[in-house]
Chain A
Amino acid sequence: MMEKAQHVGMADIVLVKHPGKMVSLGLGSCIGLVIYDESTKLAAMAHIMLPESRGGKDNTKPGKFADTAVPTLIDMLVKAGAKREKFKAKMAGGSQMFNVPGSKSGFLAVGARNAEETEKRLKQSGIKLVASDTGGNRGRSVEFSTEDWILVVKTLGTGKQGI
């Protein structure tokens, strides 16, 4: 029997061992990032809100920033017995919910910066990003299961799609 899905809230990090399932609902500009190792059957998901911590003081939630979430996911997985050389990653989110022509607020595009920074950090850590569904202007819910290692992405209007 598959266990109940664990909820990954904003800035949360959740680790599961097979059989496990993680879900993050209503991702807008945030990123749902999963790093997993099929050989040891371990996976961890972070719900990233902002690109960079800028060495800030609130490091109690490393899942909040792309630059702290990636190394934390790696550490947690390695500590749980996962093999780093087998790591793969999937991610979804980073959309721009509002399109406002001429707005001086650069923050509207934070989703794109989240996706960029996450990708950059994965690359620097030598982790292969095998699937990604980012950008656009739709909110997404994501679900990841160790049953098939597929990240199911749901949007309102266009339905579900596995990546």
Chain B
Amino acid sequence: MEYSEFNPIHLDAIREVVNIGAGNAATALSEMLGKPVDMGVPNVELVSIYDISERFGPEEDFVAAIYTHAEGAFPCNLIFIQDEDAAQGLVDAMFVARMNTDGREFPPEMRDSALGELGNIVLSSFLNAVSRMIGSDSLSISVPGVAHDMLGAILEFVASIFAQSGELALLVNTTLQLEQDGSDLKGNLMMVPDPGALETLLSKLGVL
């Protein structure tokens, strides 16, 4: 099925999946940090793959991204992208909640592993909710990979996944946000299904 063939009912169903998945992810993050976490309105839209790398900001912006690949009934790529400062703020909040220190005294590798764990909790909570929705317990996710790099380089990887099947991408994302010391720490959660996986999802949801 071509991305251009997805109709509003399909897109609504996907939006609902993201809504429930991200709700679960926000709850998990909130429990871990002991703070309220807000969730944005899910965005589900068809875009040209060539517009993806500039869509969320300048290509050379410094971001932290956590990536995992889900295997099983709904194989997909899940990516949580934050400005580097926001990521470090989230790691601070995680250390404060767990160890009563902002953890700035710890070496970067240790903070990175905390960030990976944070991403793991967000992304696996998202996936667990999706799993329940489609009545599958066979979804499992890989160990998360963490990158600190240019926004464009991360999004280009996303665009390349879609590029395997054509020129269109079904961009599915939402934001998670919490307030920390007066500033908003925001992360962008993206779901990029492997080619063919959305059809499985939609048919399990009974709309295809």
Binding site for B on A (CB under 8 A): 9-12, 25-30, 49-50, 58, 61, 64, 95, 97-105, 107-108, 110, 137-141, 156
Nearest A residue (CB) for B70: A105
Partner of B147 from the list A11, A137, A141 (CB cut-off 8 Å) is: A137
Nearest A residue (CB) for B158: A28
From residue B201, how far is it (CB to closest CB) to chain A in Å?
17
Chain B residue numbers with a CB within 8 Å of A50 are 160, 163-164
- Inter-chain contact B69/A28, CB cutoff 8 Å: no
Given A26-B53, A28-B156, A49-B160: A98 touches B167 (CB 8 Å cut-off): no
Which residues of B from 117 to 153 have beta carbons under 8 Å from A? 142-153
Chain B residue numbers with a CB within 8 Å of A101 are 142-143
Interface of B is mostly: mixed
Partner of A29 from the list B50, B77, B148, B157 (CB cut-off 8 Å) is: B157
From residue B18, how far is it (CB to closest CB) to chain A in Å?
21
Nearest A residue (CB) for B75: A105
Complex CA distance for A28 and B143, rounded to whole angstroms: 21
- Inter-chain contact A58/B166, CB cutoff 8 Å: yes
Give the number of residue pairs across the A-B interface with Cβ within 8 Å: 116
Binding site for A on B (CB under 8 A): 49-50, 52-53, 59-60, 62, 65, 67-69, 71, 75, 77, 142-157, 159-161, 163-164, 166-167, 194
From residue A96, how far is it (CB to closest CB) to chain B in Å?
9
- Inter-chain contact A141/B60, CB cutoff 8 Å: yes
Q: List 29 A-B contacts (CB under 8 A).
A: A10-B156, A11-B50, A26-B151, A26-B152, A28-B150, A28-B160, A50-B160, A50-B164, A58-B167, A64-B163, A97-B67, A97-B147, A97-B149, A98-B146, A100-B143, A100-B145, A101-B142, A102-B142, A102-B143, A104-B142, A105-B69, A105-B75, A107-B160, A107-B164, A110-B157, A137-B147, A138-B149, A139-B149, A141-B150
Nearest B residue (CB) for A9: B50
Chain B residue numbers with a CB within 8 Å of A27 are 152-153, 156
Extra contacts, 15 of them, besides A25-B59, A28-B150, A140-B153 (Cβ < 8 A), are A10-B49, A10-B163, A12-B50, A27-B156, A30-B156, A49-B156, A49-B160, A58-B167, A95-B153, A102-B142, A102-B143, A108-B145, A110-B160, A141-B150, A156-B149
- Inter-chain contact A28/B157, CB cutoff 8 Å: yes
Nearest A residue (CB) for B71: A104
Chain B residue numbers with a CB within 8 Å of A30 are 156, 160
Complex CA distance for A99 and B156, rounded to whole angstroms: 16
- Inter-chain contact B147/A98, CB cutoff 8 Å: yes
Given A104-B71, A139-B154, A141-B59: A29 touches B145 (CB 8 Å cut-off): no
